[in-house]
Structures are given as structure tokens and as C-alpha cells.
Structure 1
Amino acid sequence: MDMGAAGVRAARAAVFTALCVTLSTGAHVLLSGSPVPLTPLVAVSAGVFLLAFALAGRERGFLRIASLLIPLELAADTVFTSGQHACYGQAGGPVAGPLRSVGVDLLCGGGEVGTPLARMAAHGGQAAALPFGGGPAGDPALPWLLLAAHVGVGLLAAVWLRRGEAALAQ
């Protein structure tokens, strides 16, 4: 199979984007207890698709996949968290005041993704204790635990993607 053909590249990039962005968004909403604004989600989806399309021309090894996937996951998490903070504030409520007049309406006006999942997380009682990313507020180990979780998930996803690459190449 010619992995460099435009149709194959587009199909691989679309499947990769759909799976990765859906899983990332779902996990982010579940852990944060807040929906992700639509504009950051669209921006992350477009970026992931373009990058995946550009790199889908040939088979990649595990280290190359992992070295791209882990920073990509951390960047998507940063964009989602920034969008949540800009649209919902630290406490999860709407942001008011001068920030609205500077264009936050443009960022937050498109809708929300994952609201039912956020409600489910809030009903579990964890959302109040887990502000944007989990853990007791003020815990100094929390950022390191979240980083370790992102790296671990990135490595597992890289193994999964590598096996998919090998299967498609055969």
C-alpha cells in the first residue's frame, strides 16, 4: 500500500485526529468537571489533523511517535485548560468584567463540548475538590502527578499507534 498517497494520508490523519481529540477532550472534561469551549477544541483538532497529515507519508517507529505524541498531548491539555479558564474562570463560573470586552466572547461564544460528561463528573462529588485537573487544591505533588499521567498515557498511546502503523504497512 502506498502510504504516501493523499487519500491514505488524509484517511489516516482523520482517524488519528478523531480518536486522539475525542479521547483527550473526554478525559479533560471528566477530570476538570467543566466542558471544553468549542473554539479551543476546533483549534486543537485542526492542528492535530494538519500535523498528522504532514507526517502520515511513511511508517514511523515507536520513539518518533512518542516524541511527537507526548508534547502534542501536553499542548492540547494546555489549550483546553486555557480555554476553560478564559471562558469559565478559576471557579468554573462565567467570566465577567473587562476580559469580556477584549474578545473572550469570540473564544467562548461557539458553545461547549462535553457538558453532560462534566455534569456526570460533578455529580460524582469530585469536581468541587478537583479544580481543573484533579487533586486537592494546593497539593505540591499534583503538577508532577499530572505530568507523569500525561507521559504515561502518551507512551501507551504511542505503543498502540506503533502497532497500528505496523499493521497498516503490512
Structure 2
Amino acid sequence: MTERPPLRTVRAGVFTSVCASVSVGGHSLSSGHGVPLGGLIVGSALVYAVAWAVTGRERGLGAIAGWMAWSQSALHLVYTTAQSAGGHHGSYDEALAAASGSGGMLAVHAAAGAVCAWWLRQGEAALFAYLRLVAVALLPLLALATVSPSPPRPRTTGSAAPPRGRETVLYLRHSLVLRGPPAFC
């Protein structure tokens, strides 16, 4: 099921807020230092851009977990770089070494990503189930709104039957038939 841009924007925003907030909390606790606001903004913008690009349709748990793993890794790198720019790790080279070699922090990011992916998949399934339910509930109403009663036909007297080979076809009142079989005279 595909969706319109307003709902797509909201879904990307939810994914970004869950991913960034869990990631910044875990990263700050693991490193012992807060993440600067600039790092949070850059990381959130990056994750939002990718999330908006991939939320065109409903995704399964595997796809969500994959994107969550990617986003957690990207946020880990952005947060570590932002912390090094803020003077918490010493130099930029030390920050990159810490970002690539900190197994405990990467494990925390991976665990947070797995939990968030499961949680987001539950929300995704509930949202699309609701949208399908609304579509099924509104379909009969839409069908009733588009069907209009045909105008009454004048009564004919006698045995005036339509010519053979012709069938009476009811068209919607707003349709225009431009082609058809040749008329039998």
C-alpha cells in the first residue's frame, strides 16, 4: 500500500524521533558526555532524509531493522564526531578510533536499534491495518455516492422491442461513449 506525502512525512518524523532520541540517550550514557545540539540536529536531518526516501510503502521487520541499523551506525559516527569537535574526546583522530573501536557502545546502539525496529514495525503494521480498514469501510459509501439512479424510460405500447443484436447498456451519467459497434439499420 502506498501513501500520500503528508502521512509519509509523519512516518519519517516518527522514525527519526525514535531513532535519534534513543540513540542520543544511549550514546550519552555510554560515553559519559552529552551530545552537542549541532550533532543532534545533523544526525536527525540525515536520518530524516533517508527515512523520508524509504517510507513510500509499508515495510517489513527486516527492512525496518536494516534501516535502523544503518541509522544507528550513522548517528553513532555523527555523535562521536560532534563530541570530539566539542572537546570531549581530545582530537578528531582519537574520536574516530573511539567510534570504530568502542564495541560496548556499538552493542548498545545495535540493541537499541533492534528494539526500536520491533516497536516501529508494530506501529507500521497497526497504521496500515487501520488504513486498510478505513478503505474497506468507506468503499461501500463511495460506491453508493457514485451510482445514480437511471432516468425513467418512457413506456411503449404494443410489442415495440429493441432491435435484435442491440443490448441496452446503462452508462454513468457523466461518461461519454465515443466509440462502439456499428449501428444496425
Q: Which TM-score band (shorter chain)?
A: 0.5 to 0.7
Q: Distance in 1 between matches of 2:21 and 2:110?
A: 18
Give the equivalent residue in structure 2 for 1:68: 67
Is the partner of 2:102 in helix, strand or coil?
helix
Give the equivalent residue in structure 2 for 1:14: 13
8 Å CA contact retained: 2:23, 2:112: no
* Larger-gyration structure (1/2): 2
What TM-score results when the alignment is normalised by the length of structure 1?
A: 0.63
Return closer, same or farther for 1:78/1:64 CA change in 2, 3 Å cut-off.
same
What TM-score results when the alignment is normalised by the length of structure 2?
A: 0.59
Aligned letter for 1:160? W
Aligned letter for 1:14? G
8 Å CA contact retained: 1:3, 1:169: no
Q: Distance in 2 between matches of 1:14 and 1:37?
A: 21
Give the equivalent residue in structure 2 for 1:87: 86
Residue 119 of structure 2 is aligned to residue 160 of structure 1: yes
Give the equivalent residue in structure 2 for 1:151: 110
Q: Distance in 1 between matches of 2:41 and 2:106?
A: 24
Aligned letter for 1:80? Y
Q: Distance in 2 between matches of 1:67 and 1:12?
A: 16
Q: Distance in 2 between matches of 1:161 and 1:5?
A: 19
Q: 1:12-161 residue pairs with structure 2 within 5 A?
A: 12-90=11-89, 143-161=102-120
Alpha-carbon RMSD: 2.5
Structure 1 vs Structure 2: percent identity of aligned residues? 39
Q: How far is the alpha carbon of 1:59 from its aligned partner?
A: 0.7
Give the equivalent residue in structure 1 for 2:171: none
Whose RCO is larger (CA < 8 A, sep 6+)? 1
Give the equivalent residue in structure 2 for 1:129: none
8 Å CA contact retained: 2:69, 2:113: yes
Q: How far is the alpha carbon of 1:152 from its aligned partner?
A: 2.3
8 Å CA contact retained: 2:28, 2:35: yes
Q: Distance in 1 between matches of 2:9 and 2:55?
A: 8
